[in-house]
Structure 1
Amino acid sequence: MSHTTSTETPPPRAQDNHHDGDGDDDDYVPYVPVRKRKEAQYERIASRYNQRLPATVAAANGKDRVRDHKARAESEDDSEDDRAAGPRSTVNLVEQAVELRKQQLASGMEKTEEEKRLEEEAKILEAHKQKKQLASAAELAQGIQYTEAMRTSWHPPAHIRAKTPEQHEQLREKFHIIVEGEDVPPPIPTFKEMRIPKPILDYLKSKNIKKPTPIQLQGLPVAFSGRDMIGIAFTGSGKTLAFSLPLIMLALECEGKLPLIQGEGPVGVILCPSRELARQTYENISAICQVLERAGHPLLRTLLCIGGISMHDQQHTLSKGVHMVVATPGRLQDMLEKQKINFNICRYLCMDEADRMVDMGFEEDVRNIMSFFRHQRQTVLYSATMPKKIQDFARSALVKPVVVNVGRAGAANLDVIQEVEYVKDEAKIIYLLECLQKTAPPVLVFAENKHDVDDIYEYLLLKGVEAVAIHGGKTQEEREYAIRSFKSYKKDVLVASDVASKGLDFADIQHVINYDMPKEIEDYVHRIGRTGRSGKTGIATTFINMGCSEQILLDLKHLLREANQRIPPVLLALDDPMDHISTSNVPGGRLRSCTFCGGLGHRITECPKLEAHRRAQMAGRTGRGDAEGHRGGEL
């Protein structure tokens, strides 16, 4: 086999580094690493490119070098740039690039690193937006678009309307209410001025609800006016009343004008992501309806539509016409397809915990449900955590929406004292008993999966603790028994998965224990929101260790900092890329949150939830899948 010769000396073999023992070192060639030889070759090429080639030299070197030089010149942007570089041929390219960058910065042409990053985040968010609108299939097919908001017979009192916009804004600033939208209805500081019937006012007083919370103060007038809205407020702030009262008032007005008969209704529907939350909302609405009936008003019939219960038990309600429906998406879709109910006169749609429903894969179910509407409806969306991605998606279904925001979307309730403890996995179950001694019962314990829930429940029973458990793998009877016995104070501890973290209202919960840190910061906010409700204070204890992802720990660190809580040393020791970002350059002096999940400890480019969403899409799934064993689109 023949070998070609090389212009460079090949590296000596390993054995060439040894002397042959005759003492002659003159032929020894030192070994030169490949990297250094490559660098030397690059330097020679660069030095040739930085030198101009005079015509005489080019001619002497032959036509080939002239052609090569012309090809390099033609590869530049244009001939003017080439001529401009001519007089500065003695300055190397790196120095020219540095000087050009300075000129661009001085002239405002060059974007800052933050501007570039914001552009990159906007592109990522746009790429992962839901392409389909949250609207009826018939409306999309026919190109129907509503341009005007719905009108109602309700209007604010004259003295409220007489106030100036500046006075309304002062009231909003007092309660830290931020509104967006056109022609926003004015905030009203009392329930009486909202023209709510006296029996309901008396009922609210009996529940120690004497004045509206900030989300009710602005959200109720918006909903009473018939406007589409997005309501964002921390957990325990009274969102349920803010979307239930407008539906009750609408149903009362419709029944007073023309009573419903069999086959008619509902007037409005409330969608909830879990069975327990739907039942809780149903019970609250039913209690107000009973108060109205005792006061001489017409009977308003409410239908509970969830999996795990027999609809035959509610046949008497269906036989007389239904005013209101509280449902989970799967069972409601089934009832509509079987024509048990219809949306022919339905004018009100509310989605409670709207962002969680989209995350849990209910998006298609909701879109199918909306296809049963025959005309325009008022759409109201509420949640404690609603990132910009979900808000943009929600606006596709709304007409001139009003966004009512009390605090930052995804912020923790300031009435909750957050304590974070570093506990190894093997010590969790033992340390849990110590944490239960912090406060008197009732206490709520959260765990990520149902196997941990069962293990904790059995351990507490062995230790003599009165406990019950709830997760998606239990039957509906078991779940209802657990919730009922815990709410009635027959049991001291409720061990639950995240099925109990979204919207459920437990009275007098003083302590929430997170047996593990959830994978998403939104779930953490919902968990600790089960305490510190209605102006009361509470404690949330969270176990963390090195098994938690660094990203979720950074989110937790910034959430604690935002709420002025103590940050444990283990979180302070984390390498935090957000620490170098000054809040003085951020509007409002606040760190920019991830636009996909709302976490403060990262940007969308490092979002763990976005990565999980990508993996789910690659696997051919939507949303979060069957994390709790839900059937038909409901937990």
Structure 2
Amino acid sequence: MTFETSGMDKILLRNVALSGYRKPTPVQRHAIPTVMAGRDLMSCAQTGSGKTAAFVLPVLHQMLQMGGPAPAPSTGSTSGLSSRFRCSYPTYLILAPTRELASQIFSECRKFCYGTGIRAAVIYGGSENTREQLRAVENQVDIVVATPGRLLDFIERGRILLANVRFLTLDEADRMLDMGFEPQIRQIVEACDMPVIGERQTLMFSATFPREIQRLASDFLHDYIFLAVGRVGSTTDFIVQRIEFCEDHLKREMLLDLLNSIPGLTLVFVDTKRAADALEDFLLRHGYAASSIHGDRSQREREDALAAFRSGQTPILVATDVAARGLDIPNVAHVVNYELPSTIDDYVHRIGRTGRAGNQGIATSFANEKNRGIVRDLIELLQEAGQEVPSWLYTMCQGPAMRSGGSGRPGRGGRFGGRDMRRESGAPRRGQFGGAASATAATRDEPWGGGNWRASGGSAW
């Protein structure tokens, strides 16, 4: 399948071309026709594989084919917050775990919606932007991209009603469960007047799908297609992974050596907010243009830091895991795990910020005896990806802690969940797609035209 032969609306094809997409990635090639056919979908794909376009484009096509959103249900009242003119009845709801990812998805939606008459809005946590987001949904919007907590807040305020939702996407579903959002997600899907299974089309996308996520899929999806692109939970072939033994007191010196030897945008991961602030201050004092993002930063500060990083104004960004999943920062040349995460899942998502869209990238990780708990999984991942495994890492794996069971949790196969659970349970399935993982599409963050997204010249609703 190519974009031109996909059967998508001509306006969408034009917007795809303006976005710089030349040919679909594997996940797009399989997911787009599946979603356009109206099937529910659970997709496992590597980070950087173009998942956003894979779910936004085919849903937009179906929305255009519908001729417009359904009329708002009668509320029995013409006053108050439940009025049509004070709230929105979206046709398409997209849930994401973080405000950064929600903003990124919204940016892609705006580009693909250009000239279609379809309006989108994004809502996420942060007291500094509540009023602006309330104004955005006062007049009907057709697509809402949201984090679960802020969406529930707007539902409780009567500003968003879900009775008209015909399409639902959960992006980075594993991350949402990791962050404890399952109760909020279930409340949104099961207790807020959203059409039930079979009356809406539901899509779940993530880089990993452990058993917990597949159980969630069985509750939310109807007779779904399971799409696994590449080896689930692995890394792309475009990333060169390096593991360096480094004691804690030598990490700053080694980081400076890396920054001096590898040019380009560098993303440095640490575990805590305090460590992020301290490392940013150290780099600034040594003359390096650096910034940091973490949970204590305001939304404006985080957006400004990301914008400066993307533009190269501050080519070094120190981050906690708030930026690890879902964020699409183009042209990151180097990811440094200054502090290794405790799980291989987080390692995969961190280094997936480089080597995106077919570009080459380098991921360097500092490791020492404190990181024994991840060593066995790390060796397995490096071997699967054909990467060099240092001899000292094998030695560390043979230590007493590792022989006794290491971290005490299941191995990677059980956590990443690369198999469709319905095969084991004997439940019937109607189809399954698979493919090799690579990413070839180029993306840009800038929408075109600006102004009113119900622009003329398209299929205005």
Question: What is the TM-score of this pair, normalised by structure 1?
Answer: 0.59
Deviation at 1:221, TM superposition (A): 1.1
Note if 1:565 corresponds to 2:387: yes
- Listed as ranges, the gaps of 5+ residues in structure 1 are 1-188, 581-591, 600-635
For the 8 Å contact 1:519–1:552, the answer to whether it is kept is yes
Note if 1:284 corresponds to 2:113: no
> What residue identity is the alignment partner of 1:563?
A
> What residue identity is the alignment partner of 1:446?
F
Deviation at 1:476, TM superposition (A): 1.5
User: 1:292-307 residue pairs with structure 2 within 5 A?
Assistant: 293=115, 297=116, 299-307=117-125
Deviation at 1:396, TM superposition (A): 2.3
- More helix as a share of residues: 1
What SS does the aligned partner of 1:444 have?
Answer: strand
Deviations 1:594-618 (A, max 9, x none): 413569xxxxxxxxxxxxxxxxxxx
Deviation at 1:479, TM superposition (A): 0.9
Question: What is the TM-score of this pair, normalised by structure 2?
Answer: 0.81
User: 1:231-246 residue pairs with structure 2 within 5 A?
Assistant: 231-246=43-58
Deviation at 1:193, TM superposition (A): 1.7
Match of 1:415 in 2: 238
What SS does the aligned partner of 2:141 have?
Answer: coil
What SS does the aligned partner of 2:369 have?
Answer: coil
Match of 1:575 in 2: 398
Q: Given the alignment, which residue of 390, 399, 405 partners 2:222?
A: 399
% identical equivalent positions: 40
> What residue identity is the alignment partner of 1:305?
I
What SS does the aligned partner of 1:396 have?
Answer: helix
What SS does the aligned partner of 1:527 have?
Answer: helix
For the 8 Å contact 1:251–1:323, the answer to whether it is kept is no
- Listed as ranges, the gaps of 5+ residues in structure 2 are 73-83, 404-410, 419-461
> What residue identity is the alignment partner of 1:303?
A
What SS does the aligned partner of 1:227 have?
Answer: coil
Q: Given the alignment, which residue of 185, 199, 207 partners 2:19?
A: 207
Deviation at 1:314, TM superposition (A): 4.1
- For 1:492 and 1:335, the matched residues in 2 are separated by 37
Match of 2:170 in 1: 351
What SS does the aligned partner of 1:194 have?
Answer: coil
Q: Given the alignment, which residue of 354, 370, 384 partners 1:531?
A: 354
For the 8 Å contact 2:88–2:159, the answer to whether it is kept is no
**Bigger relative contact order (CA 8 A; separation at least 6):** 2
Q: Given the alignment, which residue of 268, 288, 302 partners 1:465?
A: 288
Match of 1:517 in 2: 340
For the 8 Å contact 2:48–2:353, the answer to whether it is kept is yes
For the 8 Å contact 2:102–2:145, the answer to whether it is kept is yes
What SS does the aligned partner of 1:330 have?
Answer: helix
- More strand as a share of residues: 2
Match of 1:438 in 2: 261
Deviation at 1:593, TM superposition (A): 3.9
Note if 1:360 corresponds to 2:179: yes
> What residue identity is the alignment partner of 1:343?
L
User: 1:149-168 residue pairs with structure 2 within 5 A?
Assistant: none
- For 1:285 and 1:544, the matched residues in 2 are separated by 39
- For 1:278 and 1:482, the matched residues in 2 are separated by 17
Match of 2:363 in 1: 540
> What residue identity is the alignment partner of 2:229?
V
Deviation at 1:513, TM superposition (A): 0.5
Match of 1:149 in 2: none
Match of 2:41 in 1: 229
Closer, same or farther in 2 for the Cα pair 1:315/1:255, shift >3 Å? farther
Deviations 1:462-504 (A, max 9, x none): 1111111000011112111111211222211111000101011
Deviation at 1:199, TM superposition (A): 3.4
- For 1:435 and 1:598, the matched residues in 2 are separated by 35
- For 2:384 and 2:55, the matched residues in 1 are separated by 28
User: 1:252-331 residue pairs with structure 2 within 5 A?
Assistant: 252-256=64-68, 262=85, 263-290=87-114, 293=115, 297=116, 299-308=117-126, 309-331=128-150
For the 8 Å contact 1:251–1:324, the answer to whether it is kept is no
- For 1:374 and 1:391, the matched residues in 2 are separated by 21
For the 8 Å contact 2:12–2:57, the answer to whether it is kept is no
> What residue identity is the alignment partner of 2:15?
Y
Deviations 1:342-389 (A, max 9, x none): 011101111111011112100001011112114432111111122234
Match of 1:624 in 2: none
> What residue identity is the alignment partner of 2:374?
I
- For 2:155 and 2:289, the matched residues in 1 are separated by 42
Q: Given the alignment, which residue of 309, 315, 322 partners 1:486?
A: 309
Closer, same or farther in 2 for the Cα pair 1:259/1:466, shift >3 Å? farther
For the 8 Å contact 1:266–1:323, the answer to whether it is kept is yes
**Mean Cα deviation higher: 455-464 or 315-324:** 315-324
For the 8 Å contact 2:166–2:195, the answer to whether it is kept is no
- For 1:516 and 1:506, the matched residues in 2 are separated by 21
- For 1:374 and 1:394, the matched residues in 2 are separated by 16
User: 1:12-91 residue pairs with structure 2 within 5 A?
Assistant: none
For the 8 Å contact 1:387–1:409, the answer to whether it is kept is no
Deviation at 1:329, TM superposition (A): 0.5
Report how many aligned residue pairs link the two structures.
Answer: 393
- For 2:195 and 2:217, the matched residues in 1 are separated by 20
For the 8 Å contact 1:389–1:595, the answer to whether it is kept is no
What SS does the aligned partner of 2:185 have?
Answer: helix
Deviation at 1:226, TM superposition (A): 1.7
